[in-house]
Amino acid sequence: MMDMKAQTTKTMEIPQEEKRLEKQLCFAVYATAHAFTRAYKPILDRVGLTYPQYLVMLVLWERGELPVKTIGEQLDLDSGTLSPLLKRLEQSGLLKRIRDLRDERQVIVSLTPQGEAMKGEIDTIMGAIGQAAGCTLEEMAEMRDMLHRLRGNLGRASTSG
């Protein structure tokens, strides 16, 4: 039996209008990601974080101390990108990295008291970005859920092809 999805993809006629750049979902997501980063910049500048550093801090505020590997998995970042981020946050006094005594290959990352205290900024940061987005919490949750589904579908498609 033929796979219906494969069949509909091959035979689906895509109107010319839908082929324009501004009609592409991938471009809308890409451009929106850049707009988010630009919107976050002045907000995060006030607390002295870059956007990727903020993501690392969110993970640590939520989960506590974690191996570097787990943080990388959570943020979908490789160690080449993550290590310099962690180093900068450590130099800023927000976190510390120590070798796992049980497994020398692992490095455990934990918040310093200064990093823990910064958790109080989340409401201000989220409130400001929410205001900039101009969406209700419900709308944001709906878009987030749709994007998670899309990401899951794309992830499955890239591993099965």
**Contact partners, residue 72, CB within 8 Å, separation at least 6:** 78, 79, 82
Question: What's the confidence (pLDDT) of residue 103?
Answer: 83
Question: What's the confidence (pLDDT) of residue 10?
Answer: 62
Residue ranges of domains in the chain: 25-116
pLDDT along the chain (161 residues), means of 10: 53 79 89 94 95 96 94 93 96 94 88 96 92 92 95 87 57
Question: What's the confidence (pLDDT) of residue 20?
Answer: 82
Question: What's the confidence (pLDDT) of residue 153?
Answer: 93
Classify domain 25-116 by CATH number: 1.10.10.10
Contact yes or no for 58/129 (Cβ under 8 A):
no
Supply 33's token pair: 């990601």
Nearest to 95 by CA among 85, 80, 106, 105: 85
Nearest to 55 by CA among 32, 78, 31, 72: 72
Give the side-chain half-sphere CA count within 13 A for 71.
31
